[in-house]
Amino acid sequence: MNQRWWIGYSVFALGLPAVGLAIAPALGQSALAAYSMRVTSGDDGPVQPDQGLTLREAIELANGTLAPEQLSEAEQALVQPLPAGQGSRIGFDLPVGQTTIALVDLLPEIVAPELVIDGTTQAGYDGSATYDPKFPAAPAVSLTVAEGREVARGLTIAADGVTVRGLSLYGFRTSDRATKTTPPSDIFVSALAPPVDSSPLSPALELFRLDQADLAPRGVVIEQNWLGLPPDGEFPAVPSAFGVTVFNAVETTIRNNRIQNHDGSAIITGFRADGLQVSENAIIGNGLAGMPDAIRLEGTIASSAITDNLICANDGSGIYLFKPEGATEISGNAIQYNGRRFERAAVYLMGSDHELSDNFIGYQPGPGVAVTAYPLSHRNQIRGNRYAELDGLAIDLNTQGNTEVQDFQKGDGPNPPRNSHHRRRETGNAAINAPQFDAYSFVSGAAEVTLTGTADPGSEIDLYRVAEPGFPYSPLTEPLGTVTASPEGTFSASLALPPGTRVSAIASDPEWGTSEPAAVAAVLAADGTQPDLPAIPVEPPSCNPPTPPPAPVDPPPPLEPLRLEIPRNIHFALDRSNISTESAGVLDQIAAALLEYPVLTVELHGHTDPRASVAYNLALSERRALAARDYLIRKGVPMERMRIVPFGEAQRRSEGSGRVEYARDRRVEFIFTDVRGLDIIFLNQEADLQLE
C-alpha cells in the first residue's frame, strides 16, 4: 500500500511541470500569456514546426504548454500576443475545401480561462443564413475523428469562461474494449475530467477530485454549434455518443445549438451542474442507442434553467430529472414527438421546487409531465403549459409510493382523492387533490357558463379548454383562466365559452405543487344538447427548421385515402438483425413513400420466431426494428415520424414450425398511419424471405 502511494507520488512529481501549469490557471493564480491565433491547417498530429497552425497547437499555446518559439516562422506569424488580462482567441482561416479537422487523438484539455474558439471567423460562414435562433447557420468548420481512429471527446473544457462558437462536432465515441469507458461526448465540461478508461496510460488518479466546488469551471459558453451532425446536415457515418456532458461545472450556458443524432442524451449532467442554462437549442433525434432522454439532469442542478428549446423526436423523455439536488426551471420549450423508443413521460420530474411553465408538450406515447412518488417530490409548479396528443394524463402524480418500472417511465395514471394524510408522504406533489367539477356537463347561460366544483381549500384552479376527444381525461389544450378555491374548498368560474366546449382544470398550491387534471366536463347549449365543434386540423409531425419568411403556401393536401403500393414488412435471417440486400430494396421503397407523403407516420414492429427465450427475443426484435429505423434515418426519413415497438415472439405471422413459417416470423412490420386519420392500403411481400 505504501509502495503504491509512493508510485503515485512519483508519477505526480514527474508530471508536475505539466500538471502545475494545468492547475494554476484553474485556480486563477497565474496569468497565461494570451494570443490571438488563426488555425490554418486542418491536419492533426504531433505538435511540430511546419507550415500551418493546427488546432492542437493553438490550444497548447493557449494552455501555456507550448511556446511560440517552438514553432516555425510561418506559424509564429499566425500568433499575435494580446494584452494581459484578456483570454486567448482561436480563429480559423482554413483553406477552402479543407475545413474539416479530423482528430487522431484527444485534444489537450482546455485549461486557459476565457479562451474563445470561434468557428464563425472562418471564411464562408454566413451567420445570417438562419431564421430561428434555435437553428443556427451551418458551421463552416467541423471537428471530427479521422477515419479508423477513435477519439472519446471533442473538446474537454476545464477552465472558466471558455467559449466554443460556430463549430460542427461529430463522431466522438469509443468502441468496446477490455473495460468500459467513461461517457464520450462532443464537448465535455469538467474540472479535471476523468480519464477515458482505466488503461495504464491514463493520468494519475490522485488528481480526479469532484468535491472541490471551487475547481469546477465557471461560465463556460457553448453557442451556435452543430453537435452530432456535419455541416451538410446529413446523418454522420459515425454518430457521437453524447452531445454536451456537463460533468462538473457551474453556470454553463448552452444556447442556440443544434444537437442531433446522438446515441445517448443531447445534454447530460454528471456530478455538478449548478446554474446550467440551456436555451434556444434544437435538440432532435437523440438517444438512438443509449440513454434515451434528450436532456437528462443528474447530480446538483440548483438554479438551472431549460428555456425556449425545441426538443423533438428523441427516443425517451424530452427532459428527465433523475434524483437531482436543487431545482430547475423549464419554460417556453416545445417538447414533442419524443418517446420514439421508450414510452416515457415527456417530462419526468424527481425532486422538489421545479417550475414548468409556458411549455408545449405533445405527441408523446406517455403522459405529459410525471412527478415521482419516491424520492419525495413536492412543490413542483406545472402551470400555463399546453398539451396535445398524449397517451396518459397531462400531469401524472405517482401515488401510494409506486416505484415499479412503469412508474419511473409512464407514471401510474389518475389518482384517487386523498383519503389519508399519509398519502401526502407517498405521492408526488404531496397528493394535492385534482379539482372535481360538480357535474360532467354544465348548461350554458345566455352569455356565460358557470362552472362549479370542489378542490383543495385555498388552491388556485387553472381552467383549461380541451380540444381533443377522450373521456374522462384528455390533454389540456389551452389555459382559460384562474380562480381561487374558497376556504370551504369550492370554486366557481363564469366564462364565455361556446356550447360544445369541453373543459378541465388543475389545482396549484404554493405549499404542495400542482395537481393532476380534473375529469373533463362539457358545456351544453341552453337546450341541453352538445353541438360538435369543428375538428382541429392535424399537422404532420415535424421537427424541421422554420422555412424562410416568404414561405410558399402549400395547397391543402387532398383528403382522400392514399392508394399506396408499398410493402409493409421485411424479413431477417435466423438470429440476425442486419438488413439484407433484398430487404434494403424494400426499405428503399418505404423510404421513398415516406418522403413523398409527409403526412405518413410509421410504427416499426419488430418480431422474432418463437425459438429462444422471451427476453432474448424481445431484445432481438428491438434490434431488428432499430436496424430498420437506422436504415430509414440514413435514407433521410425524419425521426419524428417513426416509432419503435418491439414485440418479441408474442405475435407470430404463421402458426407452423417449419423453416418457411419461422422465416415469415422473423420480420419487422411497418404500420403506416396517416396523421389525418385516413386509411392506407398496403401489401405484404415475401421477396426477401431468408430461410435458415
d(CA 168, CA 229): 7
Determine if 182 is a binding residue for other proteins (CB under 8 A).
yes
Nearer to other proteins among residue 286 and residue 601 (C-beta): 286
Determine if 623 is a binding residue for other proteins (CB under 8 A).
yes
Determine if 646 is a binding residue for other proteins (CB under 8 A).
no
CA atoms within 13 A on the CB side of 250: 13
First CA to last CA distance, the chain: 57
Lookup: cell for 181 = 469507458
d(CA 610, CA 602): 25
Determine if 634 is a binding residue for other proteins (CB under 8 A).
no
Stretch that binds other proteins, among 212-220, 398-406, 432-440, 526-534 (CB under 8 A): 398-406
Which residue from 403, 482, 589, 690 is in contact with other proteins, where contact means CB under 8 A?
Answer: 403
Torsion of CA 367, 373, 374, 376, to 10 degrees: 120
Nearer to other proteins among residue 202 and residue 657 (C-beta): 202
Determine if 392 is a binding residue for other proteins (CB under 8 A).
no
Determine if 191 is a binding residue for other proteins (CB under 8 A).
no
Report the nearest approach of other proteins to the CB of residue 333 (Å): 21
Which residue from 48, 486, 547, 578 is in contact with other proteins, where contact means CB under 8 A?
Answer: 578
Q: Which of residues 406-445 bind other proteins (CB under 8 A)?
A: 408, 425
Report the nearest approach of other proteins to the CB of residue 118 (Å): 29
Which residue from 300, 307, 377, 477 is in contact with other proteins, where contact means CB under 8 A?
Answer: 300
d(CA 211, CA 243): 24
Stretch that binds other proteins, among 10-18, 383-391, 572-580, 591-599 (CB under 8 A): 572-580
Q: Which of residues 68-87 bind other proteins (CB under 8 A)?
A: none
Which residue from 13, 95, 180, 651 is in contact with other proteins, where contact means CB under 8 A?
Answer: 180
Determine if 323 is a binding residue for other proteins (CB under 8 A).
yes
Which residue from 56, 89, 218, 262 is in contact with other proteins, where contact means CB under 8 A?
Answer: 262
Residue 568 DSSP one-character state? -
Which residue from 383, 418, 576, 676 is in contact with other proteins, where contact means CB under 8 A?
Answer: 576
Cell 409510493 belongs to which residue? 401
Lookup: cell for 354 = 421545479
Torsion of CA 296, 299, 300, 302, to 10 degrees: 20
SS3 assignment for 32-71: CCEEEEEECCCCCCCCCCCCCCCHHHHHHHHHCCCCHHHC
Determine if 210 is a binding residue for other proteins (CB under 8 A).
yes
Determine if 241 is a binding residue for other proteins (CB under 8 A).
yes
Which residue from 1, 27, 96, 178 is in contact with other proteins, where contact means CB under 8 A?
Answer: 178
Nearer to other proteins among residue 180 and residue 611 (C-beta): 180
Amino acid at site 129: A
CA atoms within 13 A on the CB side of 203: 19
Determine if 170 is a binding residue for other proteins (CB under 8 A).
no
Determine if 627 is a binding residue for other proteins (CB under 8 A).
yes
With CB under 8 A, what is the number of residues at the site for other proteins?
57
Stretch that binds other proteins, among 34-42, 123-131, 614-622, 631-639 (CB under 8 A): 614-622
Lookup: cell for 169 = 462536432
Determine if 456 is a binding residue for other proteins (CB under 8 A).
no
Q: How far is CA 211 from CA 21, 113, 297, 685, in A?
A: 21, 21, 18, 60
Amino acid at site 445: G
Which residue from 619, 645, 675, 680 is in contact with other proteins, where contact means CB under 8 A?
Answer: 619
- 404 CB burial (10 A radius; 0-12, 13-18, 19+): exposed
Determine if 342 is a binding residue for other proteins (CB under 8 A).
yes
Which residue from 52, 184, 513, 541 is in contact with other proteins, where contact means CB under 8 A?
Answer: 184
Stretch that binds other proteins, among 47-55, 72-80, 163-171, 194-202 (CB under 8 A): 194-202
Report the nearest approach of other proteins to the CB of residue 11 (Å): 14
Q: Which of residues 345-384 bind other proteins (CB under 8 A)?
A: 374-375
**E strand or H helix at 306:** strand 304-307
Determine if 325 is a binding residue for other proteins (CB under 8 A).
yes
Report the nearest approach of other proteins to the CB of residue 467 (Å): 33
Lookup: cell for 31 = 496569468
Q: Give Dmax over CA atoms of the chain in angstroms.
A: 92
For the chain, how many helices (H) and strands (E)?
7, 46
Amino acid at site 225: N
Nearer to other proteins among residue 178 and residue 559 (C-beta): 178
Which residue from 299, 339, 366, 606 is in contact with other proteins, where contact means CB under 8 A?
Answer: 299
Which residue from 37, 268, 570, 590 is in contact with other proteins, where contact means CB under 8 A?
Answer: 268
Contact 9, 24 (CB under 8 A): no
Report the nearest approach of other proteins to the CB of residue 526 (Å): 52
Nearer to other proteins among residue 117 and residue 644 (C-beta): 644
Report the nearest approach of other proteins to the CB of residue 307 (Å): 24
Site string for other proteins, 522-561 (x = CB under 8 A): ----------------------------------------
d(CA 148, CA 102): 11
Which residue from 25, 194, 326, 475 is in contact with other proteins, where contact means CB under 8 A?
Answer: 194
Q: Which residues contact 430 (CB under 8 A, 6 or more apart)?
A: 378, 379, 424, 511, 512, 513
Determine if 251 is a binding residue for other proteins (CB under 8 A).
no
Contact 276, 304 (CB under 8 A): yes
Which residue from 290, 384, 413, 598 is in contact with other proteins, where contact means CB under 8 A?
Answer: 290
d(CA 52, CA 72): 9
The rounded radius of gyration (Å) of the Cα atoms in the chain is: 28
Nearer to other proteins among residue 19 and residue 53 (C-beta): 19
Determine if 145 is a binding residue for other proteins (CB under 8 A).
no
Contact 574, 670 (CB under 8 A): no
Question: Around Cβ 521, how many Cβ atoms within 10 Å?
Answer: 24
Report the nearest approach of other proteins to the CB of residue 644 (Å): 12
- Nearest CA to 464 out of 520, 393, 508 is that of 520
d(CA 552, CA 550): 6
Contact 305, 255 (CB under 8 A): no
Report the nearest approach of other proteins to the CB of residue 299 (Å): 6
- 131 CB burial (10 A radius; 0-12, 13-18, 19+): middle
Determine if 285 is a binding residue for other proteins (CB under 8 A).
no
Determine if 577 is a binding residue for other proteins (CB under 8 A).
yes
Q: Which residues contact 423 (CB under 8 A, 6 or more apart)?
A: 399, 400, 431
Question: Around Cβ 277, how many Cβ atoms within 10 Å?
Answer: 16
Interface with other proteins (CB under 8 A): 173, 178-184, 194-195, 197-198, 202, 205, 208, 210, 241-242, 262-265, 268, 270-272, 287, 289-293, 296, 298-300, 316, 322-323, 325, 342, 374-375, 403-405, 408, 425, 576-578, 615, 619, 622-623, 626-627
